[in-house]
Amino acid sequence: MKTFGYIRVSSKDQNEARQIETMKKECIDERDVFIDKTSGKNFERPQYQLLKQMVRKGDVVIFDSITRMGRNMNDTMKEYEWFVENGVQLRFVKEPMINTSNEQDDIMKQAIQKIILTLLTAFAQKEREEIKIRQAEGISVARAKGKHLGRPKATITPAFEKAYKQWVDGKITAVEAMSIANMAKATFYRKVKEYETNNK
């Protein structure tokens, strides 16, 4: 029997440190912890899929909570059943009432466990939907106030003008000009086009 841990955070900006600490408390070797930085809306996640390939009958997989497994009710319940059917035990630190075992539980316990699982996954999906609504509302409010969303636009700086003139005069290479202007290649050439258009 081998014990694995699975961690998921919704984006690359989020910190998985708290969940890592949870796995350490469960005495799981860091080599056996799988981490995805992506949404829980579906299960097309590289580390999750790798975990499913690694587990064998009798193994244990630990999650911080059911929301780390997934946030889509129907799909999460199907994944839960996949582990059960393949003899893999599931442990949820925050929801031990839905932990599985390889022992044959009585029918009433199974029914109660399924009801709790349905409720938890439904709440997880609802929470995700509400987060999306709040994000959309926030974007609408920001746009209404005239705020720019996304990456800040690169401006024509004195450093760019200097680099541009030296580059046009053949004194430096394009790569050197990009370095002086502190711009990526695509940004530099976009600004060149903009500068030349505005200074015809």
Q: For residue 30, what are its two tokens? A: 């860091």
How far is residue 98's CA from residue 75's CA, in Å, rounded to a whole number?
16
Q: For residue 156, what are its two tokens? A: 């024509």
Instruction: Determine what percent of the chain falls in helix, strand and coil, rounding each to the nearest 5.
Output: 55, 10, 35
Burial of residue 101 (CB within 10 Å: 0-12, 13-18, 19+) is exposed
Residue with tokens 């502190």: 182
Amino acid letter at 39?
Answer: S
**CA distances for 198 relative to 45, 140, 156, 165, angstroms:** 46, 32, 11, 15
Catalytic residue among 10, 39, 65, 140: 10
Per the annotation, the verdict on 10 as an active-site residue is yes
State the catalytic residues.
10
